[in-house]
Structures are given as structure tokens and as C-alpha cells.
Structure 1
Amino acid sequence: MSSTPKTIQIFLPGGDPRGVRIAEITTRIVQVIEVPRTLLTDFLAMEQSSQVGVYVLVGEEAGDDDRRVYVGQSGDLRARLAQHHQKKDFWQRALVLISRTNSLTQTHALFLEWYVLKQLRQAGRFSDENGNAGSRPHTPPPLEADCMEIFETGSTLFSTLGYPLFDPLVAVTEAENPAEHFFCHSPGTGVDGKGLYTAEGFVVLAGSLGRLANAPSIGEANERWRQQLIEANVMRPEGEAKVVFNKDHLFSSPSASAMALLGRRANGWIEWKNADGVTLDELKRSNLGEDA
């Protein structure tokens, strides 16, 4: 995604920031419309719903640990989304990408559907309900260039609305830099976690080992939460005492990530340390506000 400065406008047609939101970069023709399922009828009454477009249905019924999507395209968004409303249960919001000038063609939409799904799977943040991804559609080079520009704009707008579908959890520069790594160890329980502190939260890296059992003090709610991580295949039991992280996973805080590994309440700012044994708190929090 381009890091150049941008001006993004978000229009609230109903005046409610929790309702339908229309995002656009002011100098470009692409729009992304976020539609709560409860307000689908409102969107279907808008002229934008009659256009050619690409859409992503988003479901988060189990919270951030089981975020699912479905990617599609249609020359008649109104009919297709109404059909999904009747037949697909998992989703709560639709993200619809269209052109302000109504200039997307079916060829654009077919290529973008394929490319969106490919990039979404590569990022690995969301699991998809699409099944077979299909083959790359034939697209003339000029039209493909248009699609790549549309995708770049759409990606920025998705992220602005709170859906970083195509952004990797960990930048390559962070993953390959040992200075950015933090570790959570508990020799008596076999916990051996590795992670990164990012702008979004704390990422526990794939292959990290945690404790399967829960300490009594963890509480019922947190015990259920750890079980959800297992059911969502974020971490899997290995043997009788351990869990292993199947993939990189973002937690909202260092403490949540430490609790997932340790099976007990934990202060992640203290539990996570760099290779020299310096805590995350000392490196990232305690020195804030100190004179350089």
C-alpha cells in the first residue's frame, strides 16, 4: 500500500457513524461503502446498489479470533446482496467497492474478485468462505492496470474503515529483525512464546508454545476465551500439556497474548522480554516522556 499522504472523506448518509459509511479518496473515483446487515434495505434503496461492484461480507460472531469473510462480485449488487441476506448466516457487514462514475465493467469485477481473494488469503488475517479460489480470469493489460490501481485505492479505504484485509500482521522488516522480537518463557510449564509489539497490538508468532491447562485463577470467561482460540485453530493442543500457535495471531494487548500462552492472568508488559531480558514495559512504556 502506498504511504504517500492522502485525504479521505467518509460520508454518513444516515447521519449515524455506526450506520452506512461511504469512504473515498477525494481525488479518485473509487468508493467503499460499509453496510451493516441490519441496514441492508437502506443500501438497496441507494442508486449505488444497482452498479457493477465487488463486495466482501464480514462475519465476526466469535470475535476477532474467528473473523470470516466471503468475497464476490456482481453486475447487480442489489439482487446479489439480497440473495446473500437470505442464504448466508455468518456475516454482519458488507463492504462494497464501486466506482463513483459507474465505470466498472464485469471484466474489472471478475479480475478484482480473484485478486482480492488471493491477497486476502496471502495476508492471512481472515478466513474465507469461498472454497475454490478459481483461476485467474483473462484480462487485457490496460484493464489489469486499471484494476491494480482500483485495488490499491480500495485497500486503503477498507483499512480506513477498520478492515485491514490485505495488510500482513507482521511486516517483513519486523519479522526478520531480531531486535524487534520479544519472548515469553515459563520453564516449569514449557511455555516458549515469541512475538512482536506492533501498532495494532501484540502478535504472537506461529510456532510459539503455550500451556494447555488453565490455572484456577484465570476465571471462567478467560477459560472460555482460550478454548475459542483452540476452536478457531489459532492454537492447537500438542500432547497432554501444550498448545502450539498454528499461525501469527494479533492480540489487542501484551497481557492478552501472555495469558493465551500461560493459561493464567498475566501482565504482558512484564512477561514479554527481549533477548537481553529487558521487559516490554521498560523498552516501550516506562521511558515515555523522558528527556532524550
Structure 2
Amino acid sequence: MEKQGRKIVVEFKNDNPNGIRIVRNPSFPFDAYIIPRCCMSETTNVIPEKKIGVYFLFDENRTQVYIGQTGDGLGRLQTHHQQKDFWSIAIMFLAEKDKWISLIDELETYSIIRLEKAEKGTRFKLQNKKKLGRKEESLTNLSEIKKIFFEIKFCLAAFEYNIETSSTKMGNPDSSAVPVQATRGGINANGLFNPNDGSIIVKAGSEIRLDDNLPANGDSIEKLRQEFKDKGKIKKVKGKYILQEDVHFGKLSPAAEFVIGGSCNGKTEWKSNGKTLKELFKL
């Protein structure tokens, strides 16, 4: 039986589709605020002062996430703007203080627990240093927390921030992941393409094209490549640069530029059994 659809209302501040957005739905126990870092100067009269909530900071490539709680959304965001470099967008879930005051700490903890599990599936690299290793059983409001988190996860996924592997009628997308390769420039890079959400995991052991003086077209991707090299996550082995850990990308082209450099169309660079993903999936 087909499930009933759901509608959400999105308010675009300053009539800018790429700017600050406020998301509402009667089933949500919160209002969601999507705030690009480049729009920080516009936040003063947008984020309510008396609401509390949890928030997620994502980097541009959707490979890193930080989770926090706040009783002062604007103040906390301004602090992170000054002190944390990696993030490019903040998504805050805020509610009235009297509704969430007894839940906020456990909601943050539960979100971290879920992202820790997702991290093991290489969805995101969790940037939190505290509250790691906690167990769900330690939470006293687990049933209510799970309901709120389900709505948070739904809202994030609606804007293509899939913090956990999605379930579909076809089953767990991990089981339907498609092995892919990128070989331009003489490299041999391997990945797993998720046809359900368009994401890709570039696998450890992949060759990375760094020696040809061909920086990635996107500044953020090139910065990530150099950061991986500097931190030993890309190492030179027998004359070739080798990726030392899996990396998740929300889209195909940034992943291709990460391994090949230059400007890439991920739909044609990544292939499975000799056929491009564009051919196989009509992308």
C-alpha cells in the first residue's frame, strides 16, 4: 500500500533560493533553519533568541558533520563561524524551551550515537570529540527522542543531507551498491556508487592523480586533496599516491575531481563493467 505523501513549507529569506531557508511542517516538533555560512550576516533577525535545539554543521562536500545543542542558536553559530573552519552550511532544529528543555541533551547524544554508527558505514566523518561511545540504553527518554530524530533525519534527507543509509523497497542500498572505477590519467580508483541517493564512496587503496600539476577544478576539492596528503591520508607508495581511507561524497563529480584532478563529469568518469553510470542509470 502506497504511503500518504507529506508536504513541507519552505520560506526563502530575501527571496534567495540559495540563501537562508526556514522549513516547517505540522508533523515536525521543530522549525528547521538552513543557513549557508556565506549568509551569516543575514542571521541576526532570523534565528529566534528564546528557542533551543540541536544543529548539524556540514562541509561543502558533505563528508564531515558536527552535531551540537544550543540554547542560543545565533550566538552558538557565531562562535562556530569564528572557531570552526570546515563547515559551509548549518542546519538547526529549534523548538520552544519548555517543550525540549528535558530532552535537548539526550537528543544531541542520540544524534551523535546514530552518526557514529553511520560513520562506520563511511557516510560522514563525525567531527565531535565528546559524547562518543555512548549507548542508547543509557538514555531515559529514548522513545520520544527516536521520534524527534526520525523527523530530523527526514528533514535533512529532503535537502539531500542523508545522514544515514536510506532504506528503500529494494532493501538496504549497501547491498545494491555498484562497484565503479575511474581510470583517466592512468590511475585506478575504485568506489561504490549508491543508486538510491546518487552518492559514492571512494575506497581506500584508490590511486589519486596528484603528480600531473592538475589541481581539482573546485577549490574546496583541491583543498581536501592537499589536506589528505598533508595528514597522511594520501600517501606516496612506489611512485603512486594511494588513498588510505574510504571517503564519502554526496555527488559523483566532486568524487571524480578528487581522484583525477581538473574538471570532471562524474556521470561519465565513473564506470562499471566498462559502461559509464550515465549509460547504466540514464543519469
1:37-186 to 2 correspondences below 5 Å: 37-44=40-47, 46=48, 49-58=49-58, 60=59, 63-64=60-61, 68-77=64-73, 80-81=76-77, 83-84=79-80, 87-88=83-84, 91-99=87-95, 102-124=97-119, 125-134=123-132, 135=134, 138-140=138-140, 143-164=141-162, 166-168=163-165, 173-177=172-176, 180-184=178-182
TM norm structure 2? 0.72
TM norm structure 1? 0.70
Structure 1's 82 and 198: CA in aligned 2 closer, same or farther, altered over 3 A?
same
**Aligned partners of 1:202 and 1:257 also within 8 Å:** no
**Aligned partners of 1:271 and 1:279 also within 8 Å:** yes
**Aligned partners of 1:9 and 1:26 also within 8 Å:** no
- Alpha-carbon distance, 1:17 to partner: 3.4
Q: Distance in 2 between matches of 1:270 and 1:264?
A: 14
Structure 1's 76 and 267: CA in aligned 2 closer, same or farther, altered over 3 A?
closer
Structure 1's 114 and 175: CA in aligned 2 closer, same or farther, altered over 3 A?
same
Structure 1's 210 and 26: CA in aligned 2 closer, same or farther, altered over 3 A?
same
Local SS of the residue matching 1:121: helix
Residue 237, structure 1, aligned to residue 240, structure 2: no
Tell me, which stretches of 5 or more residues in structure 2 are unaligned? none
Q: 2:200 aligns with which of 200, 203, 207?
A: 203
Structure 1's 5 and 118: CA in aligned 2 closer, same or farther, altered over 3 A?
same
Query: What code does the residue aligned with 1:241 have?
Result: K
Identical-pair percentage: 21
How many residue pairs end up in the alignment? 267
**Aligned partners of 1:191 and 1:261 also within 8 Å:** no
Structure 1's 12 and 194: CA in aligned 2 closer, same or farther, altered over 3 A?
closer
**Aligned partners of 1:169 and 1:248 also within 8 Å:** no
Q: 1:191 aligns with which of 185, 188, 207?
A: 188
**Aligned partners of 2:55 and 2:68 also within 8 Å:** yes
Local SS of the residue matching 2:46: helix
Q: Distance in 1 between matches of 2:13 and 2:208?
A: 49
**Aligned partners of 1:208 and 1:244 also within 8 Å:** yes
- Alpha-carbon distance, 1:148 to partner: 0.8
More deviation in 149-158 or 259-268? 259-268
Larger gyration radius, structure 1 or structure 2: 1
**Aligned partners of 1:211 and 1:261 also within 8 Å:** yes
Q: Distance in 1 between matches of 2:73 and 2:56?
A: 12
Q: Distance in 2 between matches of 1:220 and 1:80?
A: 35
Tell me, which stretches of 5 or more residues in structure 1 are unaligned? none
Residue 280, structure 1, aligned to residue 277, structure 2: yes
**Aligned partners of 1:50 and 1:78 also within 8 Å:** no
